[in-house]
Amino acid sequence: MKVLGIETSCDETAAAVVSRDAGGRGRILSDVILSQVDAHAVFGGVVPEIAARAHVEALDQVIATALREADATFADIDAVAATAGPGLIGGLIVGLTTAKAIALAAGKPLIAVNHLEGHALTARLTDGLAFPYLLLLVSGGHTQFVSVEGAGVYRRLGTTIDDALGEAFDKAAKLLGLGYPGGPAVEAAAARGDPARFALPRPLIDRPEPDFSLSGLKTALRLAAEKIAPLSSGDVDDLAASFQTAVTDVVADRTARAMALFREAHPATGRGTLVIAGGVAANQAIRDRLVTATSQAGFTLVAPPARLCGDNAVMIAWTGVERLALGLTDPLDVAARPRWPLDEMARPVLGHGAKGHKA
């Protein structure tokens, strides 16, 4: 089984070809990503119109490169999978429309993929995980705990009430003048700073439900910075370190609660597995803290390679493989969905968490 995947939900134009053998083992045949970071950096964030236009200009060539590197043609693939949501509607339409055209012209099945499901299933490609397992999805637009119980079967255990983790890092970086993208910039500054200098809050810590709230931490960071302005480079490093340490404390506490809930729901799984995915999963301080938290709880931590934690087409192609194996394909009139929760039965929450792309 061989599937072409297309990803255009935000500011990466990506295509990949992934195969699966009769034993269920996956293989990445190609993985092409064209980043738009430089085009958006001057604006301090992603500009949807610029992103959509860049996808239009680049996607055909990115797909051609992915096929060439996989030594494949449209005739060789078994299906075309594309991100249909959640994400920026302009970019989603570009990728999904291109996938529809290929599917129609080549006579191949179309699979409209939920971007979040791509993150949820990546560890099955990279580590061969069996269901069920616990997922911590942390990115610019998503922060949630999900019990992954099968392809298409997800139960949300916790989410963010306001800012997503990646969003909080981006806002902190902007406040401190560290540039875009914010996550790597804050991490680099934090490595030079004193994490104990500023006493920042740990929102929702020790609460029974594994939800997040990060807007108060962001406000506390702003107030601490304003109090000592103008900031020296040392001040910026110390603020970044204090912020990142507060975030890792919150993540560790919330994860401990999510693992307890997962174990209650799946007592027969023995040693549980926590998968961390999304762009923020590349943060080494968060990874290190989760190693400790999972070890203490009797869980195993699985983190896919950093390249597959951010937006990529490999995860879309692999999700296409998983869904195709179950006979789950889509009609050519399937629509893009800028908001598309992974667990559509989950309770609504206050703030940004109520939005489908973050819920």
Task: Give DSSP secondary structure letters for 160-206.
Answer: BSS--HHHHHHHHHHHTT--SSHHHHHHHHHHHS-TTSS----TTTT
At residue 359, does pLDDT exceed 70?
Answer: no
Q: Do 163 and 296 share a domain, yes or no?
A: yes
Q: CA separation (Å) from 163 to 130, 245, 291? A: 31, 17, 24
Given this model, what pLDDT does residue 350 score? Answer: 58
Rg of the chain (C-alpha set): 20
At residue 352, does pLDDT exceed 60?
Answer: no
Q: Do 108 and 144 share a domain, yes or no?
A: no
Phi, psi (deg, nearest 5) at residue 182: -75, -35
Is 183 within 8 Å of 169 (Cβ atoms)? yes
**pLDDT tens digits for range 218-231:** 999 999 999 999 99
Given this model, what pLDDT does residue 48 score? Answer: 85
Q: The domain containing residue 22 runs over which residues?
A: 2-124+311-339
Given this model, what pLDDT does residue 189 score? Answer: 98
The span from the CA of 105 to the CA of 180, in Å, is: 40
Residues with Cβ within 8 Å of residue 58, at least 6 apart in sequence:
13, 34
Q: Do 135 and 271 share a domain, yes or no?
A: yes
Q: Do 193 and 293 share a domain, yes or no?
A: yes
Least reliable range by pLDDT among 21-25, 129-133, 266-270, 289-293: 266-270
Q: Is there a cis peptide before residue 132, judged by omega within 30 degrees of 0?
A: yes
**Which structure tokens are listed for 353?**
């968490």
Q: How many CA atoms lie within 13 A of 55 on its CB side?
A: 27
Least reliable range by pLDDT among 122-126, 250-254, 329-333, 347-351: 347-351
Q: Do 13 and 112 share a domain, yes or no?
A: yes
**pLDDT tens digits for range 199-208:** 999 999 989 9
Q: Do 89 and 222 share a domain, yes or no?
A: no
The span from the CA of 244 to the CA of 242, in Å, is: 6
b/e map of 59-78 (b: 16 or more CB within 10 Å)?
beebbeebbeebebeeeebe
**pLDDT tens digits for range 277-320:** 988 888 999 999 999 999 999 999 999 998 998 899 999 999 99
Given this model, what pLDDT does residue 41 score? Answer: 73
Q: Do 134 and 263 share a domain, yes or no?
A: yes
**Confidence band of 38 (pLDDT split at 50, 70, 90):** confident
**pLDDT tens digits for range 94-111:** 999 999 999 999 999 999
Given this model, what pLDDT does residue 312 score? Answer: 96
**Containing H/E element for 5?**
strand 2-7
Given this model, what pLDDT does residue 356 score? Answer: 36
Average pLDDT, whole number, for the chain?
93
Residues with Cβ within 8 Å of residue 291, at least 6 apart in sequence:
301
Is 262 within 8 Å of 161 (Cβ atoms)? no
Q: Say whether 8 sits in a helix, a strand or coil.
A: coil
**Intra-chain end-to-end CA distance of the chain, in Å:** 32
Q: CA separation (Å) from 29 to 68, 178, 304, 356? A: 10, 37, 17, 32
**Confidence band of 358 (pLDDT split at 50, 70, 90):** very low
Q: Do 106 and 142 share a domain, yes or no?
A: no
Given this model, what pLDDT does residue 346 score? Answer: 84
Total number of domains in the chain: 2
Given this model, what pLDDT does residue 300 score? Answer: 96
Q: Is 170 inside a domain boundary?
A: yes
Is 47 within 8 Å of 36 (Cβ atoms)? no
Angle among Cα 87, 89, 90 to the nearest 5 degrees reads: 120
Q: Do 194 and 287 share a domain, yes or no?
A: yes
Q: Do 56 and 118 share a domain, yes or no?
A: yes
**pLDDT tens digits for range 122-165:** 999 999 999 999 999 998 788 999 999 999 999 999 999 999 99
Residues with Cβ within 8 Å of residue 326, at least 6 apart in sequence:
151, 152
The span from the CA of 107 to the CA of 291, in Å, is: 46
At residue 353, does pLDDT exceed 70?
Answer: no
Q: Do 87 and 194 share a domain, yes or no?
A: no
**pLDDT tens digits for range 163-212:** 999 999 999 999 999 988 889 999 999 999 999 999 999 999 989 999 99
The β-bridge relationship of strands 153-159 and 110-114 is: unpaired
Given this model, what pLDDT does residue 128 score? Answer: 95
Q: Do 278 and 164 share a domain, yes or no?
A: yes
